[in-house]
Structure 1
Amino acid sequence: MYKPRYKPRILIYLFISIFLISLVNAVTIHGTIYDFSLKKLNNVRVEIDTSPKQFIVAQNGTYSFNVPNGDYTIKAQLIQKNTVLASVEENITVSRDGSYVLDLILFPDIEEGIEEIELDVNGDIIEEDNNIILTGFIILLILIVVIGVYYFNKNKKRKVKTEEPKEKYEDVDLGQLIKIIKQEGGRTTQKDIRKQIPLSEAKISLMIAELEHKGIIEKIKKGRGNIIILKRK
């Protein structure tokens, strides 16, 4: 039986024609990948929703796809330890042959809760621990200085306040106190002395205590008051 031999040739021509048509309609989409500070990023996964889907891992901060005419979505992600650090998604329409440039700028992925991530040219996170430690040390040093100044001034005021009564009553002539006791016949009360000397009761008590310590007077407690007796007339 006769078998036609032209069918295999027709199939070959058909496949070649389809291949050539696809080459004629092929378009190149390419661009550079940046982070949000406009530095090139490496190790970024870039994919385009062709059929079948294409993807590459950009090693030098650039990407390129050959596609036919159509509408496409290009998605780029910077992934480290199964976590998306930054990403971007761009749409592009290809309506004629040629080369299309579409640069991609990746921003921190808000959905993953990552904020203000600074990336270097290799796609690594730049650590800022040194700046944080330095700032914390400066704040701690300032607090120590402020606390030290506060306690120094507090102790200084307390010392001045403690020594004030001594300086005040030392300026008063203790002889005046002895003279008042003599005028009262060598025997009087602390209350009467207070009426004749314009000083506070606490200061007069200190003066009486000093005279008693020197053995000049004797103080006898009576009720709520004190009786002062002159021992040396």
Structure 2
Amino acid sequence: MRKLIIPIAMLLCVQLALAAPLHGTIYNTDLNIAGDVLVEVDGQKYLSKDGQYTFDVTEGMHTITATKGLLTVVEDVSVKGDTVFDIFLLGDFSEEDELWHDTDEEYFPKEEEPVSERKWAYWVAGIVFLFTLFRIYRARKKYGPLKVFRKRVKAESMKSVEEHKKDLEQEPGHIEKALEIMRKHDGRISQKQLRKEMLYLSEAKVSLIVTELEHIGKVEKVKKGRGNVILLK
């Protein structure tokens, strides 16, 4: 029995030596700390009451899952030494796909028209087609191909709050752009519409921009239904 205990103890010591702490903070869509979130890594589960979590895992790639209510977020994280990984409860990219595809609609006439009216239909179809091509050209020039666009948004969503703040400090033009968009909408815009107008930024970064504008007294955020309305002061 003693001969078995020694190898087992040595194996446990090796595993402990290879373990690395994985920890971070969980944020909701308003970039506030989210509590009562179930976090799971490699079969380890932890119910975070205060929005913080910590696991001891081996170095390498791991999949971390965070669940709050009906929302589940799954992220891949590379652990090397003491690793900080913040989780954003932002859902999937279905909204980004929908918004991106808004720029990629095409016109297809479905019914045959009488010959006398067909010329007008061709003219209208031609104009709509050219307008659609123009929208696609502008969208792809601005956002790039869908695959590249989704990859960029995915990378943005994996950044921590501190990384988003650092990005905004280095590129203050994003905040001025948000103010310009609000002025274009007569000083009143929903946060979802602002997100659509700034589609090249992640939802977390747009939320941080709104929070910063609210902090410096430039805007007021009003809750309306399930979303927010931003009012320019």
Would you say same fold, with TM above 0.5? no
Structure 1 or 2: larger helix share?
2
- Bucket of the pairwise TM-score, normalised by the shorter protein: 0.3 to 0.5
Output the TM-score relative to the length of structure 1.
Answer: 0.39
Output the TM-score relative to the length of structure 2.
Answer: 0.39
